[in-house]
């Protein structure tokens, strides 16, 4: 995966057009596709795009939109 497809919390929040603290909470609650790497959250741009389109695993598991 190219490095521009892996986002840190600030980049992912900007991509989703939400606040960083909001995204922290969503990641902790497993509402968005995310992984902790070395103690820091990382997000896949393609996974976030799929999640936004309703094809992402966290939204399907929760049975509701985040």
pLDDT at 11 over 90: yes
Alpha-carbon gap, residue 47 to 56, rounded angstroms: 7
What is the dihedral sign for C-alpha 20, 52, 44, 55?
Answer: positive
Domains and their CATH numbers in the chain: 3-54 (1.10.10)
Q: Is the pLDDT of residue 38 over 70?
A: yes
pLDDT digits (tens, 9 = 90+) for 13-32: 999 999 999 999 999 999 99
pLDDT confidence of residue 56: 67
For residue 64, pLDDT beyond 90: no
The pLDDT of residue 6 is 97
Give the span between the Cα atoms of 8 and 2, in whole angstroms.
14
Higher-pLDDT residue of 58 and 64 is: 58
């Amino acid at each position: 995966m190219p490095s521009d497809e892996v986002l840190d919390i600030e980049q992912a929040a900007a991509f989703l057009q939400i606040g960083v603290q909001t995204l922290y909470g969503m990641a902790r609650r497993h509402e968005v596709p995310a992984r902790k790497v070395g103690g820091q959250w990382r997000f896949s741009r393609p996974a976030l795009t799929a999640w936004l389109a309703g094809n992402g695993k966290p939204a399907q598991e929760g049975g509701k939109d985040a």
